[in-house]
Amino acid sequence: MASENSPTFGLWYDFRQKPPLGYYERFYPECLEEIEEGERLGFTDVWLAEHHFVDDGYLPPPLMVAEAIAAHTTSLRIGTNVLLLPMHHPLRVAEEAPYHLCFWGRLPDVTHEEALANIRLFASEVAPKVREIARA
């Protein structure tokens, strides 16, 4: 991991395939291998974007892929540059995001303690209000 004053270099993955399309069973593992190699070479971050309804595999599930990357690496910070909130239920994103942060502890600029605080805040303040609105 780079020191606070040194520049960092990250990877950007959108998981788009070049033609011919359709070799997903090889393509995604190859991308994960490239990301692992990037970590070995000293890259500090990997960023993902979310896209839907395209034939070239343009990454519809970035949080799931972030989990796979975290399982295959040890120190890369993992971020979603684009998460299309209209494609997700906002309560689900609000509830799941802190768990992703806490579980892997490697999303940029969020400490483990901040992630736990977000989980506690959701459980104590947000969830009861949501349940109240849902009952109305």
What residues are paired with 48 via a beta bridge? 13, 80
Three-class SS state of 135: helix
Question: How far apart (Å, rounded) are the C-alpha atoms in residues 93 and 98?
Answer: 9
| pTM greater than 0.85 | no
Three-class SS state of 70: helix
Quote the pLDDT of residue 71. Answer: 86
What's the whole-number average pLDDT of the chain? Answer: 77
Mean pLDDT on 110-126: 69
pLDDT beyond 70 at 48: yes
Nearest to 96 by CA among 72, 71, 65, 118: 118
Consecutive H or E run containing 45: strand 45-49
**In the 8-state DSSP scheme, what is residue 54?**
-
